[in-house]
Amino acid sequence: MGTNLRALAATGAAAGLLTTALLGASPAAGARAEPTPPTPRASDTAAAAGATGPAAGAATVGGERLAGHGVIAPAGFKAPPKTESSAYLVADADTGAVLAAKDPHGHYLPASTLKTLTAVTLIPRLDKDRKIKPSEKACNVEGSAVGIVPEPIYKVDDLMRALLMVSANDAAVALAEANGGLTRTLADMNRQARKLQAYDTVARTPNGLDAPGQRSSAYDLALIARAGLAMPAFREYISTKVAKFPAPKDYGKKKKKKHHDDSDPSESPAPAYYEMANHNRLLGRYKGMLGVKNGWTSKALGSFVGAARRDGHTIIVVIMHHPGGFWEEVSKLLDWGFAARSRVAPIGELVRPVPDPTPSSSALAVRPTQTPGAAGGTGGDAHRVAGREPAGSGPVVPLFAGGGLVAILALGGAYARRRRSRGEDPSGG
C-alpha cells in the first residue's frame, strides 16, 4: 500500500506541474497575448499634463534615431527646409519610411488634427446613411462649428464631412453621441490609437479642444493619417473642396403652405442647404494635394497633417506647435519629401498597426473580454497614461484551476474503488 500511495503522490505532483504549466505558460498556438508596446520617449517640451517618461532602456517606436529632440535628417542629401514649428515629420506613406523629423515623439497639444483619430475610429463604426438628431449640448460646443441644430436632418456622412472639411467641433460631439456617448467614443479613440501604435496620443475630447492630459506627437499624427488614407471614405472627405450641408430653413419656425382650394394651410419644414468650403488652403493649389487636417488653439498653436501624391507615391507632412502661417513651409517640406524619397536612407519607419488577435483554437485557455475603461481609456493608471494597457489582457480563465487536485481526486477515487474490490478500508485505518 505504501508503494501505491507513493505512486499516487507522484502522479498528483505531475498533474500539479502540468496545471501550473497550463496556467502560467504563454497562450496556446493560435492565441495571442495583448502586445506590450515599446514606450515612446517623453519630450522635455511635453505640452500635456501628466506625461510620464519611459522605462529605462525602452525602445523608441519607429527606430532609435527618432528619440532625438532636434532636427533628424539623412546624410548625403540637402537639409530639409527650415520651419518655425516645434516638431515635424516627413514620411513616405507607401513604404512607411520616415525621411526627416524634428522632435517626432515630443508630446504636444494636437488641436483639431485630433479629429483625424475621431474619423479613423468612427468611420468603420457608424453607418454613413444613418440619420442623427444632435443634442443641445452638441449644438452649443465652443469654437469652430458647422452650425447644427437639434433636428434629425443630418446623416453621419454630413457630419463626418463637416468634421474633416471645416473642423466642426459640434459635428464631432454629435458623432460621438451617435457612437454611444463621449465616454465610449473616447475609449474607442484611445484603443484605436494603441492599435495603430500611436502611444504618444491620449484623447480627452473628440474634437481636439484643449483638455488636461490630451496630447499627441508628429509621429503619431503621421500614423493616424496613414491609417485614414487607407479608408476610401476618409480620402473622399479630406479631398472635398466644397460641399452642401443640410440646415432647416427658418429653424424654430414652420413654413406655411397654402392649398389651392383655400383650405387651412399645412405646416411643413422646407429642407435647405448651405455650402461649406474645406479649410485646407493647399487643396487645388499644391500639385497632387490629397488634403487631411489643420488645427489651431491658443495653447496648441498651429498644427497640420497633410498628404500629397505624385507619380504614384504619397508623402505625409506633419507639423506641430507652429506660431504663425505654415502653408508655405508645408509646401516646401512636401517638395523636399518627393525629392528625397528614393534618394536617402530612412531615419526611421512608420510602424504598422497591431494585428487583430487570432481566436484561440485551444480549449486549454480562454481569455475574458476586457471591460472598457473610463473616458479616454486612460484613468489614473500610469500604463494607460503612457498609452498602453498593462501587459496581457486579463488572467487566463482557470478552466484547469486546481487541475492537479482534480487529477489527485480522480486517481484517489480509482484507488479507493480498487481497495474496496480487494476488501480494504478506503479510509486507510
Residues at the binding site are 293
* Residue appearing with cell numbers 500539479: 16
Which residue type occupies 268? S
> Of 115, 144, 216, 239, which residue is the catalytic one?
115
Q: Which candidate, 172, 118, 166, 116, places its Cα nearest to that of 146?
A: 166
Contact in structure between 242 and 162 (CB atoms under 8 Å): no
Buried b (16+ CB within 10 A) or exposed e, 24-57: eeebeeebbebbebbbbbbbeebbbeebeebeee
Cα–Cα distance, 123 to 132 (Å, whole number): 15
Q: Which candidate, 136, 82, 71, places its Cα nearest to that of 104?
A: 71
Burial of 393 (0-12, 13-18, 19+ CB in 10 A): middle
Cα 190 to the center of its chain, rounded Å? 5
Cα–Cα distance, 144 to 133 (Å, whole number): 19
Cα–Cα distance, 280 to 365 (Å, whole number): 51
Annotated binding-site ranges for substrate: 293
115 is catalytic: yes
> Of 43, 85, 112, 303, which residue is the catalytic one?
112
Q: 407: Cβ–Cβ under 8 A, 6 or more apart, which residues?
A: 11, 12, 15, 16, 18, 19
Strands 271-277 and 242-248 turn out to be antiparallel
> Of 43, 86, 167, 303, which residue is the catalytic one?
167
Cα–Cα distance, 324 to 301 (Å, whole number): 8
Other CB atoms within a 10 A radius of the CB of residue 406 amount to 13
User: Active-site positions?
Assistant: 112, 115, 167
